[in-house]
């Protein structure tokens, strides 16, 4: 018998036929799994002082849900970083459920890590494809805490001045300039010591040099305030005030005669957000956090002047610092964090002694 004609060929059994690609269910990516699990959790408990306006959080919630097709409620509990981190540590140790997301400085985040209150997340691997900006937020200045949280913004200091009392060209751009007798009684110092402890990270500076600078400035009779919030310079009670850049911009946007210049060097304190180890809504929390520090930043920056990262020229603060050409001083390791703690205690003691006298 000759070969079987093609029209009469017998097809191989179905079991031996290669599977069609369409018949194989596509495996979900890590991000897709998180989105689906977040959908079931339905909520995020967010412990942080920022944003300060309720309307900002409502805008963020709406944009976040629209982005991923979810209906997640963001419960915002306004806590400062100290309270947020301490409560996370205490609640976790007691076996209770803390907020899903906590707010912290590098030192405070290290405390949560040491207390086993937070676990590492491979943020870039999970979210990098859909939220490419996350790499800059995950690779923080303080390498010891990478993976444990994401950078929300840099608290960047500047010297605000009242434009009705001082011309821009008169404003000192170096810290030593505040010791000039012309500024006697015309500027403020924060009783909590900041940002002076960070100056120790400037090359060529030592703890002794920073302490001596503070003593010289205190001889110039500054107004010592509980916190530098910009109120005094806005009201014209002083000509100069050391404040966060975002505070200066907020005050200016509200119509106060205030502007600011970057000092040499420029102190920076990064602010982080982390997901607690025993979070009740871990997937929704990670998804919201990853989105917040990437696609959510324009909303924060527009409404509250947040989102600035000095190492990223794509942000408003990054551009401003680059244009000013100043050196950045910030903590870069756990040892630096300990050094800052030491400097805070020493400088606070110096300021306290002056207030007593």
What pLDDT, on the 0 to 100 scale, is given for residue 301? 82
Nearest of 282, 271, 276, 269 to residue 102 by alpha carbon = 276
Report which secondary-structure segment, H or E, holds 72: none
What pLDDT, on the 0 to 100 scale, is given for residue 7? 36
Q: What is the mean pLDDT of residues 105-134?
A: 93
Report which secondary-structure segment, H or E, holds 218: helix 207-218
**Residue corresponding to tokens 């209150």:** 117
CA-to-CA separations, 267 to 36, 50, 245, 321, in angstroms, rounded: 41, 21, 11, 11
Residue 222 has pLDDT above 70, yes or no: yes
Give the predicted TM-score (pTM) of the model.
0.81
Instruction: Find the range with the poorest average confidence among 184-188, 298-302, 343-347.
Output: 298-302
Nearest of 275, 58, 54 to residue 147 by alpha carbon = 275
Report which secondary-structure segment, H or E, holds 248: helix 245-253
State the pLDDT confidence band at 309, using cuts at 50, 70 and 90. Answer: confident
- 17-38 pLDDT per residue, tens: 444 455 555 678 999 999 999 9
State the chain's mean pLDDT as an integer.
Answer: 89
Residue 16 has pLDDT above 60, yes or no: no
Q: What are phi and psi of 224, to 5 degrees?
A: -90, 120
Tokens describing residue 184: 């006697």
Residue 346 has pLDDT above 50, yes or no: yes
Residue 325 has pLDDT above 70, yes or no: yes
Residue 234 has pLDDT above 60, yes or no: yes
Percentage of residues in the chain having pLDDT higher than 70: 91
């Amino acid at each position: 018998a000759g070969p079987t004609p093609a029209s009469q060929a017998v097809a191989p059994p179905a079991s031996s036929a290669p599977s069609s690609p369409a018949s194989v269910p596509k495996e979900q990516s890590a991000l897709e799994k998180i989105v689906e699990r977040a959908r079931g959790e339905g909520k995020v408990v967010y412990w942080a002082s920022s944003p300060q306006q309720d309307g900002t959080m409502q805008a963020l919630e709406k944009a976040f849900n629209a982005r991923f097709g979810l209906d997640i409620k963001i419960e915002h509990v306004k806590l400062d970083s100290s309270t947020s981190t301490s409560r996370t540590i205490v609640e976790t140790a007691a076996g209770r459920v803390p907020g899903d997301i906590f707010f912290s400085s590098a030192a405070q985040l290290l405390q949560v890590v040491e207390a086993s209150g937070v676990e590492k997340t491979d943020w870039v691997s999970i979210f990098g494809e859909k939220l490419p900006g996350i790499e800059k937020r995950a690779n923080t200045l303080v390498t010891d805490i990478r993976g444990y949280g994401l950078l929300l913004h840099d608290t960047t200091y500047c010297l605000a001045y009242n434009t009705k009392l001082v011309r821009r060209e008169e404003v000192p751009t170096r810290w030593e300039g505040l010791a000039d007798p012309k500024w006697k009684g015309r500027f403020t110092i924060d009783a909590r010591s900041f940002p002076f402890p960070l100056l120790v990270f400037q090359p060529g500076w030592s703890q002794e040099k920073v302490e001596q600078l503070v003593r010289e400035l205190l001889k110039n009779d500054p107004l010592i305030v509980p916190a530098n919030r910009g109120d005094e310079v806005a009201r014209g009670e002083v000509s100069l005030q050391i404040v966060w850049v975002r505070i200066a911009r907020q005050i200016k946007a509200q119509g106060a005669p205030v502007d600011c210049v970057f000092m040499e060097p420029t102190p920076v304190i990064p602010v982080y957000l982390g997901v607690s180890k025993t979070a009740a809504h871990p997937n929704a929390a990670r998804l919201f956090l990853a989105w917040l520090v990437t696609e959510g930043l324009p909303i924060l920056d527009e409404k509250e002047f947040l989102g600035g990262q000095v190492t990223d020229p794509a942000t408003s603060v990054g551009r401003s610092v680059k244009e000013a050409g100043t050196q950045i001083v910030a903590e870069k390791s756990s040892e630096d964090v300990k050094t800052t703690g030491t400097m805070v205690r020493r400088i606070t003691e110096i300021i306290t002694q002056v207030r007593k006298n």
